[in-house]
Structure 1
Amino acid sequence: MKLSNSYIGLPEEFYQSIDPSPVKDPSLLVFNNELANSLNINLGNEEILNYFSGNVVPKGSVPIALNYAGHQFGNFVHQLGDGRAVLLGEINNKEGNYDLQLKGSGQTMFSRQGDGRSALGPVIREYILSEAMHHLDIPTSRALAAVSTGEHVARDTFEPGGILTRVAKSHLRVGTFEYFASRQQWEDLKILADFAIQRHYPEIRELDNHYLELLKKVASSQSELVSKWMSVGFIHGVMNTDNFTISGETIDYGPCAFLDEYHPGKVFSSIDQNGRYAFGNQPSIASWNLASLAGCLIAFIDKDSDKANELATAVLDNFSIETNQRILDLMCKKIGISGSKEENHSILRRLLKIMMENQADYTLTFRNISKVLTENSDEFFQLFKDKNEIHQWLKDWRAVVNSENSDLMHLEKNLNEINPIYIPRNHQVQQAIDKAYENDFSKMLEMIDVVKRPFEEKPQYSSYAEAPLDEQKVQRTFCGT
């Protein structure tokens, strides 16, 4: 495993050099061989356990904790940083450089009052959900390994500890830019912007206004990301600017969750008491975060502040328009109609309204819609309490579908390749964590296998396709810090 570290070429204030803290009795729970192969990582079992528990620093690694600030629930926090994570370095494959980070690896100078560790539950949650997102074709960090530390951490109770090895295109965040902008360290901010361009968007280096182009690139990447979140019913739960990446990847799976029944105001995160990061708010919050990035870059976009603000505002306005259209396109595609027609948007909005009023399951509604292209299906209708309204909607929808599609059998196949049957259901994830706390990892391993094939129905996994009973529903999720 050949590691490099481009971050250490940055000024010292960008990071702290620090080794991960060894753990008492580590054991490997799961290793992502598919991901390892794509990164050309070829290690023996002993090396895997030693490196990804933090007990041995790999050759060539210069471990660091990254420095950043951020807006948390709209309030600016001057100093954050990697309080329980260490970046081992970067590994290269044909697609570029990828960070290898240990999460839960011990205290750093950014830990504040924290112990620098992670409970095992959040490690399992991130492993399962990040793999699910990857196989749903949603940009995301991924999990390479999950390790049990053999130690306990103090949370509300004492819980078993864990370490996750995370792979990401980088860990540059809007909050990284905010750290230097808030201190008016303009030279450092320029170094950071140039580094981000080189790392993620080298094609814009030679353009005249490459800092404006950087803002455009991040906006486009985040537009694609958030649109895809909305299409599968994913709620990040803590869209602070320190969790908002320059690469456009989903990162920091804390109190995240997937919708069961559809409601745009749905919140799972226990710390989001005012619903700032509710499901339906995610596009507007992404715009808010991009505005924070624009504020950091504004002095580099143009020397004339009025012109710089005008240029940045145009990017933000375009983001909102582009994201709204992307969501409409993806959602209309999920029901087999064109997203370019205004009358089709009305069909979609009517369905979402009926789903909300009937508390219909988000994933199952879209998955089962392929079964009612030409005839009725109990699997679809049982999701709705008011049968009359959904019957009328189906009549109108079928008229549009028939006018736009000549081959309904082909459309049925396409719909089943777009709408997943398996998502990491919140109650199933919690069951996997509960069993793991009893030293039974079979549920966790099975879930990882299930989410790797989200569109492929398998009889032995039928329970993973079912909506939870009322008593099984998870109402609150927690960040685990």
Structure 2
Amino acid sequence: MDNSFASLPPSFYTRLMPTPLPAPYLVAVSEAAAGLIGLDAAALAEQQSLDILAGNAVPASAQPLAAVYSGHQFGVWAGQLGDGRAILLGDVATASGPMELQLKGAGLTPYSRMGDGRAVLRSSIREFLCSEAMAALGIPTSRALSIAGSDQGVMRETVETSAVVLRMAPSFIRFGSFEHWSSRQKPVELKVLADYVIDRFYPQLRAEANPYAAFLAEVTRRTAVLMAHWQAVGFMHGVMNTDNMSILGDTLDYGPFGFMEAFDSKHICNHTDQQGRYSYGMQPQIGHWNCYALGQALLPLIEEIPAAQAALDVYQPAFAAKMNELLRAKLGLATEQEGDPELMDAMFSLLQENHSDFTQFFRTLSNLKTDTDEPDHDLRDEFVQRDAFDAWAARYRTRLRAENSNDAERKLAMDKVNPKYVLRNYLAQIAIEKAQNKDFTEIARLLSVLQRPYDEQPEHEQYAALPPDWASHLEVSCSS
């Protein structure tokens, strides 16, 4: 294990050891994540490994530290933040590049502010499952290796048990890492951080006339692409603060997230977000806003406002291009034709007016036949306004016929991009409630299902079901 971040000046972090987790036990392990760093998932259950996963011991070569950063929270400048409960152990070499290992919930740090430095089992299970589910969906994301639990109580709205997630990403540097030094008018430190990130992750940008402007443009492009991925699968992050935005375009810091069920572009998955700043429909705009915040932070290095603006102008075309690409694939359209945007807009209006289930709609749509104009009852029954659906379906059939779409081939293609299984809140809640009673089998079962989101899995059909009535009362917030 190395720790390249520790090569930065001491002002970027505080070195400290994790706080031991009393009497830890293993809650879950991701075999897929373990494979990324060359570990045997079965061996992680051994006591020596468990001690590391819980923060009770660290590898001999680790250099544990908590990083400092700042950021905008809900659009308001929050000043200094930092790793208030996360400790970076270091990074390991993999076939696809370095992978940092970080313990979340590992105890107090100098950046904990009013927090206790711990994570609760509830939110740890949600982060673990969603990290791995998003990876299986093909969406850029941090990964989660394991959850270690403890009976140690921590106070949130009520007393809950604590846990530690070992999560992994090529880097945990955020937009807020740059905002920190810019806000403090520390151009030397700002340049050190930018040079570190460029040299480590974007070395090709060194050949550009203005590497810092090129860096902003590439981060902006990656962020736009990530937003398109989120929108296309119906994922809502819930807390798109600048301190939660990855400098590599990965999904980072899973908190009060949600997957769209009954479609509503104004849906808010975070109970704390009373104003709807981070609603589903706002996510692309907020992604762009966050890039502007990063651009403002990098301006002392870019030096020229037009160059920074040109870099930020990458966002809208990159988002539109990726979103159109993803939507065409979801609709099974092999070509791009005039009128496609109107067809897609009409589809979203139909979903909005009928509040149809987002995941089930796209999955079922692959069954539509082009060789008949008869209504498709399985599809139209998902809509209150069946005549409105029939009218849209007629347009869709005409569009498919225009490119001589083959029903069987199109179904195969659509089922590879429209998941049958996503991490619905009620599924996570069932796993959480069982785990709180020391039954961890549902976490493993659900993880197994979510790692094959595009497969039919008839033995797990119940995991694709619409949420039960009680699920409408579930609330997730920034509390964890």
- Scaled by the length of structure 2, what TM-score is found? 0.96
Name structure 1 gaps, 5 residues minimum.
Answer: 303-307
Q: Do residues 420 (structure 1) and 416 (structure 2) align? A: no
Q: What residue in structure 2 maps to residue 115 of structure 1? A: 116
Query: What residue number does 1:10 align with?
Result: 8
Q: Say how many residue pairs are matched.
A: 474
* Partner residue, 1:38: 36
Give the aligned partner of residue 19 of structure 1: 17
> Separation in 2 of the partners of 1:405 and 1:475?
45
- The SS at the match of 1:76 is strand
1:164 aligns with 2:160: no
1:267-319, Cα deviation, whole Å (9 max, x unpaired): 010111100011011111011110011111112223xxxxx211221222221
Tell me, in whole angstroms, the C-alpha distance in 2 between the residues paired with 1:88 and 1:458: 38
2 CA distance for matches of 1:66 and 1:100?
13
| Contact 1:27-1:150 within 8 A present in 2 as well | no
**Alpha-carbon distance in 2 for matches of 1:194, 1:439:** 47
Aligned-residue offset at 1:83:
0.5
What one-letter code is carried by the residue in structure 1 that aligns with 2:432? I
Q: Which amino acid aligns with 1:444?
A: I
Equivalent residue number for residue 265 of structure 1: 266
Contact 2:28–2:443 under 8 Å retained in 1: no
- Rounded Cα–Cα distance in structure 1 between residues aligned with 2:321 and 2:90: 38
- Is this contact kept in 1: 2:263–2:357, CA < 8 A? yes
> What fraction of aligned residue pairs are identical, expressed as a percent?
36
Amino acid in structure 2 at the alignment position of 1:258: F
Give the superposition deviation at 1:442.
1.9
How far apart in 2 are the matches of 1:360 and 1:423?
16
In the alignment, which of 351, 354, 360 is matched to residue 355 of structure 1? 351
What is the CA-CA distance between 1:466 and the residue it aligns to? Answer: 1.1
**How far apart are the structure 2 equivalents of 1:226 and 1:75?**
21
Q: Deviation at 1:361? A: 0.3
Task: Report matched runs for 1:128-277 at 5 Å.
Answer: 128-277=129-278
Distance 1:269 1:449, change over 3 A: same
How high is the TM-score relative to the length of structure 1? Answer: 0.96
> Which stretch of structure 1 is more off in the superposition, 101-110 or 202-211?
202-211
Aligned twin of 1:330: 326
Alignment match, 2:458: 459
Q: Contact (CA 8 Å) 1:426, 1:473: kept in 2 or not?
A: no
Q: Whole-Å Cα distance in 2 between the matches of residues 471 and 388 of structure 1?
A: 30
The 10-residue stretch of structure 1 (456-465 or 401-410) with the greater mean CA deviation from structure 2: 401-410
Q: Hey, what's the Cα distance between the residues in 2 that align with 1:197 and 1:409?
A: 46
CA contact (8 A) 1:332 1:345 kept: no
8 Å CA contact 1:329–1:339 kept in 2: the answer is no
8 A contact 2:28–2:440 mirrored in 1: no
How do residues 245-394 of structure 1 correspond to structure 2 at under 5 angstroms? Answer: 245-302=246-303, 308-337=304-333, 340-374=336-370, 376-394=375-393
The residue identity in structure 2 corresponding to 1:35 is A
In the TM superposition, what whole-angstrom CA distance separates every residue of 1:412-465 from its partner, at most 9, and x where no partner exists?
Answer: 110111100000111111111111112222221111011000010112211111
Query: Equivalents in 2 of 1:173, 1:340: separation in Å?
Result: 36
Q: Does the 8 A contact of 2:221 with 2:314 survive in 1?
A: no
Shift of 1:77: 1.2
DSSP-derived class of the 2:329 partner: helix
Per the alignment, residue 431 of structure 1 pairs with 430
Write the deviation string for residues 146-165 of structure 1: whole angstroms up to 9, x where unpaired: 11023111111111111000
Deviations 1:371-418 (A, max 9, x none): 113365433222101110101111110010111244221111101111
CA offset at residue 339 of structure 1? Answer: 7.1
How do 1:39-58 and structure 2 match up within 5 A?
39-42=37-40, 45-58=46-59
Evaluate the alpha carbon distance shift between residue 342 and residue 470 of structure 1 in structure 2; reply closer, same or farther with a 3 A threshold.
farther
**Is structure 2 residue 27 aligned with structure 1 residue 29?**
yes
Distance 2:469 2:384 in 1: 15
- Whether the 8 Å contact between 1:405 and 1:411 is mirrored in structure 2 is no
Instruction: Determine if contact 1:339/1:345 at 8 Å carries over to the other structure.
Output: no
The one-letter amino acid of 1:415's match is M
SS of residue matched to 1:121: helix
Letter of the 1:69 counterpart: S
Tell me how far apart the structure 2 counterparts of residues 87 and 326 of structure 1 sit (CA, whole Å): 33
| Structure 1 residue aligned with 2:410 | 411
Deviations 1:319-365 (A, max 9, x none): 11220232122112211225743401111111111111111000000
Contact kept in structure 1, 2:333 and 2:400, CA below 8 Å: yes
Q: Is the 8 A contact 2:425 2:471 kept in 1?
A: no
Amino acid at match of 1:448: L
Contact 1:224/1:323, CA 8 A, preserved across alignment: yes
What is the letter of the counterpart of residue 410 of structure 2?
L
Query: Which has the higher mean CA deviation after the structures are superposed, 455-464 or 169-178?
Result: 455-464
Deviations 1:20-43 (A, max 9, x none): 001111001112222222212355
The one-letter amino acid paired with 2:342 is: S
Distance 1:333 1:34, change over 3 A: closer
Residue in 2 that maps onto 1:69? 70
Cα distance in 2, alignment partners of residues 317 and 35 from structure 1: 35
Counterparts of 2:161 and 2:335, CA distance in 1: 48
Determine the C-alpha separation between the residues in 1 that align with 2:394 and 2:446: 37
Q: Which runs of 5 or more structure 2 residues have no equivalent in the other structure?
A: none
**Does structure 1 retain, via aligned residues, the 8 Å contact 2:147–2:166?**
yes
Q: Say if 1:339 and 1:132 are closer, same or farther in 2 by CA, change over 3 A.
A: farther
In the aligned structure 2, how far is the partner of 1:237 from the partner of 1:382?
31
SS in structure 1 of the partner of residue 80 of structure 2? coil
Instruction: Give the aligned residue type for 1:87.
Output: L
Deviations 1:192-242 (A, max 9, x none): 000111222111123221101101110111111111000000000000000
Deviates more, 1:181-190 or 1:466-475: 466-475
Question: Aligned to 1:98, what secondary structure does the other structure show?
Answer: strand
Contact 1:337 1:344 in 2 (8 A): no
Distance in 2 (alpha carbons) for counterparts of 1:211 and 1:454:
38
| Rounded Cα–Cα distance in structure 2 between residues aligned with 1:339 and 1:269 | 37
3-state DSSP of counterpart to 1:131 = helix
- 2:200 and 2:377 map into 1 onto residues whose CA distance is 51
Q: Deviations over 1:118-150 (max 9, x none)?
A: 110111000111111000000000100111023
Which 4+ residue blocks in structure 1 deviate beyond 4 angstroms? none
Q: Structure 1's 177 and 441: CA in aligned 2 closer, same or farther, altered over 3 A?
A: same
Root-mean-square deviation over aligned CA pairs: 1.4
Could you say which residue in structure 2 is the equivalent of 1:305? none
